[in-house]
Structure 1
Amino acid sequence: MSEPLTTAFGVARGDHAWIRYAGEDERRELRAAQVLTAAERGERVVFVHAGARRGRPGDAPVEGGQATVIAPRDAGFAAGRLDARRLMDVLEQQIAHAARLGLRGLRLCVELADVLQETPDVAEHGRARGEGNGPTGGCPLAALPALPRPPAIICHGDRARLPGPRLRALERRHALVLEAEPALTRGPQLCVLPVHGPAGLRLVGELDGSNIGVLARALETAPLDGRDLHLDVRELRHADVAAVRLLVRVAAAMPDGHRLVLHAPGPVVSAVLRHFGWAGRLVLEEGGWG
């Protein structure tokens, strides 16, 4: 069974996550973490928050086109509601811009307390402030149509600015719900499980320098299937360059005729292998097993 996602750094393209925080310090740390994650993954990050409307570029570092800030109204949010077509146009433009910069994808980070703000005339006509897109009060991004290359959608929510019922309704509409403090910890969880048919290991969670020793020790005693060492990485949500380099070194040290086979590597692992010219040193299989 997959371990739950525990950090903001592991949220990948196609995910829709909710990270709740409290206060200005955690807000700044969250934005900085999103820029760092985009840099590590070779992605562009788009922030949607009210700071842009007030003429401030935001407090996230912006270098080489890695990040940009858009006002809620420019992204299709107005009076607590979302113009999905407008946001889809913005996302398609940003994805195309990321591709021109040589980046592999997009992260959309939305400050929900900003985009769900009501205008005074709306509140005066009987709808409670913070009610948002209908009586359920769900996340307006939940109904966004799918894109061919979907972004990672990360909703940030300030507990102090969102009323309790609204906060709970938003959380119910997100498959991934994280608290800012543990989500900002650079100590991802990794679970290494034995599998059979073929014999090997399944890697679940997130992998970087903080737990690379766990993987190294597991590889030393991993069962072989004939001459091959099989690793199922379909549930490995994130792996940094050091982790992928370890796999390449293990493959290079194997005797002639032996192979290290990666099953279902995700886009991050595959991109690192291609970027450093390591793809030819491992056998990559599309499907997982077990």
Structure 2
Amino acid sequence: MNDITPVDADEYTVPVAGGGLAVTRWGDGPGAPVLAVHGITANGHSFARVAAALAVRGGPALHAPDLRGRGVSGGLPGPYGLAVHVDDLLAVLDHLGVERTVLVGHSMGAFVSCLAAVRHPDRIAGLLLVDGGHGLPIPPGTDIDTVLGPAMTRLRMTFASPDDYRAFWRRHPAFAGRWNTWADDHVMRDLTGEAPGLRSSCDETAVRVDGAQVLADEETLGAVHRLPVPARLLWAARGLGDEAPGLYTPERLAGLPASVSALELPDDNHYTPLFSSTAVLVAEQIHTLVQETVQVQGQL
């Protein structure tokens, strides 16, 4: 599973409300850099393998922030919420001097990406959504603990050493038999504090606020139905615990707008498309979307 050579990463900080947003850049290909938006308890390094695959294709650089309340941006204060993430993404584009580009979002990051496109169609040229962005049929009263129970429990746990945290993740049903150096890099970036009290960098309040909006916020859930830009959705056949079916099924995607094309990832669960060999497909989809949007903009 480690058939792609990693590319060098640079780290920089973007001034945002309350402090500095940590961003990782991979690659230096031509064109506007792609902005990658991670999931609710993840960090920007979840896109390292996608960035390496994109570089192999000669694609543009990929920039991935650690969203507010996660990773190296874990200490950024509230208010939280998806609209604040959108503002932070725009700050990154402004910092880079990028007028308009493609976003790729995984899980919650897909919802953030849709909201960014609706609110700022002049800045977002296209979207690649990975197992997220389209609302799910959630029973009334469902909260984030019900949906993300194991992940929420992890945020309150402490670990004696990095190896203990690594072992915790290797036992996770989504990663059992699928562990590799890409997943390891992402997990180690999440770890903060000092032994024996190491813990996840994710701020629980941020996760709760963001998660509530993904589950029930009208503007967030409606964004995918009002997209003013080209969009593609890659959906995993298996769920957060490697169970079948996953978050999406053909029936659940029946309400997806015809303007959003959908492609099943039959060998992946919710977590793995960015870490498995499917990352090559994700990179191909990004590269194709970039080329299509460049052509469209050239015709305007």
Q: Same fold (TM over 0.5)?
A: no
Greater share of residues in helix: 2
TM-score by length of 1: 0.29
Q: If you compute each CA radius of gyration, which structure gives the higher value, 1 or 2?
A: 1
